Chain A
Amino acid sequence: EAQVTQNPRYLITVTGKKLTVTCSQNMNHEYMSWYRQDPGLGLRQIYYSMNVEVTDKGDVPEGYKVSRKEKRNFPLILESPSPNQTSLYFCASSGANTEAFFGQGTRLTVV
């Protein structure tokens, strides 16, 4: 089954404690992205990747890092999380001519 898998689904952490949210896709897609969803704002792109070792900033990249060492994986790293990064995060992947497929989401709370 074609899917995008994120882990964990839920995470509560404390300010400043580094964390990683993993994302993996099994569709051999070139493009992968991270979005955050906040009420009234819709989804905003954090980072995206056009292929292995090729990444670029989205609209809200501050406080986040990504890496794309393998085609199927695109982890999101928060080096020093802050409460304003409390949000619902989605990973997405797409091919050259396909719509974006989204993961189930990761609800992050930073206290």
Chain B
Amino acid sequence: AQSVAQPEDQVNVAEGNPLTVKCTYSVSGNPYLFWYVQYPNRGLQFLLKYITGDNLVKGSYGFEAEFNKSQTSFHLKKPSALVSDSALYFCAVSAFGGGYNKLIFGAGTRLAVHP
């Protein structure tokens, strides 16, 4: 069965420090992987995706993610956190190894960046 795990309910980081939000997945075939962010009372905003190619993908707002096939992971990273990065982050994988339509989401990780 296809699944996504975000092992941390919450990540706390001091402003200016690097941040990592973890994601592991289980999917048959080649995965399409995504990160979305949700601010309070807002919909989900797309951050970045991995489809193929370079394992390090760069996205919006200075975020990047590293695809690791052997560890089936797709961790979200940022070199220097901002207070405004505080939000709920979701990792998602496309089912059946392709397409953008049927997404399976992790439970979400709340990122809190402290001044």
Contacts and interface: CB of A to CB of B under 8 A. Distances in A.
A89 B43 CA distance: 10
B25 interface: no
Interface string B71-103: 000000000000000000010100000011111
Contacts of A48: 101-102
Interface stretch (A12-20, A38-46, A61-69): A38-46
A109 B10 CA distance: 26
Contacts of A102: 36, 43-45
A94 B46 CA distance: 12
A39 B49 CA distance: 24
B100 A95 contact: yes
A94 B101 contact: yes
A50 B103 CA distance: 13
Interface string B14-45: 00000000000000000000101000011111
A43 B90 contact: yes
Nearest to B6: A42
A103 interface: yes
Contact of A103 (B4, B41, B43): B43
Interface of B: 4, 6, 34, 36, 41-46, 49, 90, 92, 99-108
Interface of A: 4, 31, 33, 35, 40-45, 48, 50, 58-59, 90, 92, 94-105
